[in-house]
Amino acid sequence: MLTRTAAPTLRAYEDAPDSSYYDLANALRAITMDAVEKAKSGHPGMPMGMADVATVLFTRFMKIDPGRPHWADRDRFVLSAGHGSMLLYAINHLLGYADMGTDQLKRFRQLGSKTAGHPEYGHTLGVETTTGPLGQGLTTAVGMALAERMMNARFGDELVDHFTYVMAGDGCLMEGISHEAIDLAGHLQLGKLIVLWDDNGISIDGSTALSTSTNQLARFEAAGWDVHRADGHAPRTLIDAIAKARNTRKPSLIACRTTIGYGAPNKAGSEAVHGAPLGAAEIEGARDQLGWNHGPFEIPADIAADWKKIAQRGAKERAAWERRLNESGSREAFDASVSGELLEDFDATLLAYKRDLSQSAPNVASRKASEMALGVINRATELTIGGSADLTHSNLTLTPDLGSISAGRYDGRYIHYGIREHAMAAVMNGIALHRGFIPYGGTFMVFSDYARGAMRLSALMGQRVVYVLTHDSIGLGEDGPTHQPVEHLAMLRATPNINVFRPADAVETLEAWQIALASEHTPSVLALSRQNLPTFRFDHTDENLTARGAYVARKPHTRRDVTLLATGSEVGIAFAAAELLADRGVDAAVVSMPCWELFEQQSAEYRSAVLGKAPRIAIEAAARLGWDRWIGERGRFIGMEGFGASAPAPELYEHFGITPHAVVDAACDLLTCA
């Protein structure tokens, strides 16, 4: 076993609390029972079962300062079994987080309270990531633990040296994403990631034996983890297991054998206690059995004081860390990295490149344009951390000199996520939440389905994560309908707080990247083509037109007879159709709509000026859903009505009728053509 050279902050805390662990843990149990009972809703089983594990972890190991919840070098605590939210709220209440007074415990699960049904990042202090969808927390924590090592590689042990602790249930370990997470964490040897598994043998339907017979320890071990067993109600064995887990170079799993709903006289150990209030009689029985003779939400002063000691200890450590930072000479760089601010000249660098693009007018796929943009971006900032789910050469996400991240080598800037789209997205969430980096990652757009669970959380948590989704339509050609996204733009556009960009040329692609990197609270999707797209933005504008969401790319010569709306690869089709229509005496405007969400945010005047009063035809090689908003009652849509097919791309466009001639026919149907 390898012993690390410990920085001063990493000692295990030797002092046992004055009150017994049992009393401190019972405080968590009592608060949970009372809050769930008052709410008439919630999950008492997990918090009551894991109360002892939480008590040991926090009293002996956690390094946090509730007065400074965002302290960069704090240990991260991730409640992956998010249904056990009352455990986290009870802990945070006892630690003294400013927003977690008794009033909040009493308003568990009520509108506007800090004690939402599942922990929500950004809503409640001390919640490191939103959990509830099982498996997400575990995988997000892998991203946090990786980010910790990457920051450590840049700033050293004195400034960055913290653990990531996860509480995961049977459900988290059953979810498919856990396989990706475990595999990746083991491969990257994230030694400071410690998973405390609530090994209670129960899930909602009953015994886990109904649905699994996996030897979890063997499974984790096979993925390169260090594994331990502990009695989840025996502090000494837990202390030993956690202390050992902290001293290995491998990520660690501790199987904590617990009784779900520990303390409930009749319901403990059964699924009855998983997700329903215990009821008055059972609570009374639990109080008796636990020896907890205090009223609802009442915590004896000595027990409260012991919990507060954890916070006091953390505050001291934070102050010492603050001094180290000030003396380190790296304060400015460290703060800039944590704040995620781009350098002052970043925009000017991108603008100069945009001017070049308009001049050179490359005829390249937007995935290639993205690679070219990244070449400039990755030189202009060190915040970006790239990656791909094993499609680097298709997504074109790697630029020279990034260097790969691997076990023990965390100073690179490129992550080979392997064929693990879901984990890639969740790990990127973890990296973004940890702070210090802007993660971007690529896969084929069709596989956003696989990543969806975590992409939704990027949006819900408002994280700056950039999804590079290439091969964005039937334009990818021969790989066929399994690989051709059709409904994905609609799905992504329907998701709140994601900017979905489908740039039409190299200039728009750069503009989209610039917006994505500046969007600190919104994830972005870049839907990029496999096939070449000609540049049409010959006239350089300092203004980022993509930031308008949509703009008139081809002005009509005199009056506007018809408006052609298109995105990405179909903007070229709209241009070609406009020329054909001109021959027939029809004056068409072409509107490029790279980002609907940003267009929706424009003023009504701007939107109506762009959309115009003439009949509209939308062209997009994807499902129609959503387009009716823009084309109106009289409008036409030219796109996909079902799945694609396997053939060279130009033939597919003909086959599915997404052509300039089809646009002309639709226009002539709407208007009187010559």
Binding footprint of Mg ion on the chain (CB under 5 A)? 169-170, 200, 202-203
Residue in this structure with the two tokens 């009870």, named with its chain if needed: 90
- Scanning residues 251 to 310, which ones bind ligand TPP (CB under 6 A)? 260, 274
CB of 177 to ligand TPP, least distance (A): 9
| Largest distance between two CA atoms of the chain | 92
482: exposed, middle or buried (Cβ count in 10 Å: 0-12, 13-18, 19+): exposed
Of the listed pieces 13-21, 197-205, 457-465, 542-550, which binds ligand TPP according to CB under 6 A? 197-205
Residue 83 interacts, among ligand TPP, Mg ion, none and using kind-specific CB cut-offs from 5 to 8 Å, with: ligand TPP
250 binds ligand TPP (CB under 6 A): no
**Token digits for 273?**
């206690």
CB of 457 to ligand TPP, least distance (A): 11
Q: How far is CA 280 from CA 31, 40, 43, 104, 285, in A?
A: 14, 11, 15, 21, 9
198 binds ligand TPP (CB under 6 A): yes
CB of 666 to ligand TPP, least distance (A): 43
CB of 203 to Mg ion, least distance (A): 5
CB of 541 to ligand TPP, least distance (A): 45
- Cβ proximity to ligand TPP: between 134 and 623 the closer is 134
- Cβ proximity to ligand TPP: between 83 and 464 the closer is 83
Q: Which of 453, 444, 442, 521 is nearest to 480 (CA)?
A: 444
- Residue 341 DSSP label: P
134 binds ligand TPP (CB under 6 A): yes
Q: Which residues contact 530 (CB under 8 A, 6 or more apart)?
A: 365, 367, 394, 470, 471, 472, 475, 476, 477, 649
Q: How far is CA 166 from CA 194, 312, 507, in A?
A: 6, 23, 43
- Cβ proximity to ligand TPP: between 456 and 530 the closer is 456
For ligand TPP (CB under 6 A), the number of binding residues is 19
Report which residue's Cβ sits closest to ligand TPP.
Answer: 169
351: exposed, middle or buried (Cβ count in 10 Å: 0-12, 13-18, 19+): middle
SS3 content of the chain, % helix, strand, coil (to 5): 45, 15, 40
Among the listed residues 91, 202, 433, 610, the single contact to ligand TPP using CB under 6 A? 202
463 binds ligand TPP (CB under 6 A): no
48 binds ligand TPP (CB under 6 A): no
- Cβ proximity to ligand TPP: between 203 and 499 the closer is 203
Q: Are 198 and 170 in contact (CB under 8 A)?
A: yes
- Cβ proximity to Mg ion: between 83 and 548 the closer is 83
- Cβ proximity to ligand TPP: between 272 and 573 the closer is 272
199 binds ligand TPP (CB under 6 A): no
**Token digits for 383?**
């915040």
Q: Are 563 and 608 in contact (CB under 8 A)?
A: no
384 binds ligand TPP (CB under 6 A): no
- Cβ proximity to ligand TPP: between 192 and 274 the closer is 274
CB of 53 to ligand TPP, least distance (A): 13
44 binds ligand TPP (CB under 6 A): no
Residue 120 interacts, among ligand TPP, Mg ion, none and using kind-specific CB cut-offs from 5 to 8 Å, with: none
Of the listed pieces 199-207, 527-535, 549-557, 580-588, which binds ligand TPP according to CB under 6 A? 199-207
Question: In angstroms, rounded to a whole number, what is the distance separating the alpha carbons of residues 324 and 158?
Answer: 7
- Scanning residues 167 to 196, which ones bind ligand TPP (CB under 6 A)? 169-172, 175
Local structure of 466: helix, strand or coil: strand
Q: Which residues contact 537 (CB under 8 A, 6 or more apart)?
A: 357, 358, 505, 507, 508, 545, 553
CB of 47 to ligand TPP, least distance (A): 9
Among the listed residues 28, 35, 46, 631, the single contact to ligand TPP using CB under 6 A? 46
**Token digits for 260?**
């779900």
CA 375 from chain centre, in angstroms, equals 24
Residue 263 interacts, among Mg ion, ligand TPP, none and using kind-specific CB cut-offs from 5 to 8 Å, with: none
Q: How far is CA 286 from CA 28, 53, 260, 291, in A?
A: 13, 19, 13, 8
- Cβ proximity to Mg ion: between 168 and 188 the closer is 168
Among the listed residues 203, 216, 378, 470, the single contact to ligand TPP using CB under 6 A? 203
Of the listed pieces 163-171, 229-237, 600-608, 614-622, which binds ligand TPP according to CB under 6 A? 163-171
Of the listed pieces 91-99, 202-210, 465-473, 620-628, which binds ligand TPP according to CB under 6 A? 202-210
Question: In angstroms, rounded to a whole number, what is the distance separating the alpha carbons of residues 418 and 604?
Answer: 45
CB of 201 to Mg ion, least distance (A): 7
The question of whether 332 is a catalytic residue gets the answer no
475 binds ligand TPP (CB under 6 A): no
Q: Which of 660, 568, 577 is nearest to 620 (CA)?
A: 568
CB of 241 to ligand TPP, least distance (A): 19
Handedness of CA 9, 12, 14, 17 (dihedral sign): positive
591 binds ligand TPP (CB under 6 A): no
- Cβ proximity to ligand TPP: between 44 and 224 the closer is 44
17 binds ligand TPP (CB under 6 A): no
Could you say which of 421, 508, 570, 620 is catalytic? 421
The sheet carrying 226-231 orders its strands as 76-79, 164-168, 193-199, 252-257, 226-231
- Cβ proximity to ligand TPP: between 32 and 463 the closer is 32
- DSSP collapsed to 3 states, 206-247: EEHHHCCCCCHHHHHHHCCCEEEEEECCCHHHHHHHHHHHHC
CB of 459 to ligand TPP, least distance (A): 17
Which spans in 462-595 are helix H?
488-494, 506-518, 570-583
Question: In angstroms, rounded to a whole number, what is the distance separating the alpha carbons of residues 10 and 338?
Answer: 21
Which spans of this chain sit near ligand TPP (rule: CB under 6 A)? 45-46, 81, 83, 132-134, 169-172, 175, 198, 200, 202-204, 260, 274
The set of catalytic residues is 421
